[in-house]
């Protein structure tokens, strides 16, 4: 791998993920009703995945595409933030990152979806020091949830 490619991948990894722990709900910081509706929607979607009694204790946050330019793909980053805030299994994260890649690819210039995916895969692990890591709605490092196995029948 060339040195320039390694540098580009590292920069993407540290700056292109899509979440933030600052309590912002761009672009609706100025409109508390819309911000509250976005937060309520995130809680609802997380409760559908995890159950109503297993929600992150930290309020939902999003700043769009974080250190990446916001554009016609901003809602892709918001959807990705909801899943990252909520957390879940390693498979859930892979699906969220693939959905971000697909959504951005449909709305952005060619290659941007893949470039963002290259950033969120290493930069969004639950063990990274970044505020946009997987399961950022939980205090401290949460890691991945263990997938539930179906009950075995005797």
In the chain, where the domains are located: 3-123
Terminal CA-to-CA distance of the chain, rounded, Å?
A: 53
- Other Cβ atoms within 10 Å of 8 Cβ, number: 13
> What share of the chain has pLDDT > 90, as a percent?
47
Q: What is the pLDDT of residue 70?
A: 73
Q: How confident is the model at residue 138 (pLDDT cuts 50, 70, 90)?
A: very high
Q: Which residue has the higher pLDDT, 90 or 67?
A: 90
The position carrying tokens 């020091």 is 129
Q: What is the pLDDT of residue 144?
A: 95
Q: What is the pLDDT of residue 140?
A: 87
* 100 pLDDT more than 70: yes
Q: pTM for the whole thing? A: 0.78
Among 93, 87, 90, which residue's Cα sits nearest to residue 42?
87
In angstroms, the CA 49 to CA 34 distance is 23
Task: Classify the phi-psi angles of 141: left when phi > 0, otherwise alpha if psi is within -120 to 50, otherwise beta.
Answer: beta
The average confidence (pLDDT) of the chain is 81
Q: How confident is the model at residue 12 (pLDDT cuts 50, 70, 90)?
A: very low
In angstroms, the CA 43 to CA 47 distance is 6
DSSP state of 28: -
Q: What is the pLDDT of residues 14-64, one digit of tens each?
A: 443 443 444 455 555 567 888 888 899 999 999 999 999 999 999 998 877
Q: How large is the average pLDDT for residues 60-74?
A: 80
């Amino acid at each position: 791998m060339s040195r320039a490619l390694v540098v580009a991948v590292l920069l993407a990894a540290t700056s292109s993920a899509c979440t933030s722990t600052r309590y912002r709900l761009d672009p609706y910081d100025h409109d508390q009703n819309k911000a509250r509706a976005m937060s309520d929607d995130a809680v609802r979607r997380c409760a559908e995945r995890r159950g109503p009694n297993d929600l992150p204790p930290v309020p939902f946050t999003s700043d769009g595409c974080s250190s990446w330019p916001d554009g016609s793909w901003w809602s892709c980053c918001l959807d990705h933030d909801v899943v990252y805030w909520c957390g879940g299994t390693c498979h859930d994260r892979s699906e969220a990152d693939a959905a971000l890649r697909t959504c951005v690819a449909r709305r952005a210039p060619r290659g941007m979806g893949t470039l963002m995916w290259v950033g969120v895969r290493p930069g969004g692990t639950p063990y990274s020091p970044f505020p946009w890591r997987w399961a950022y709605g939980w205090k401290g490092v949460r890691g991945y949830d263990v997938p539930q196995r179906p009950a075995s029948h005797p």
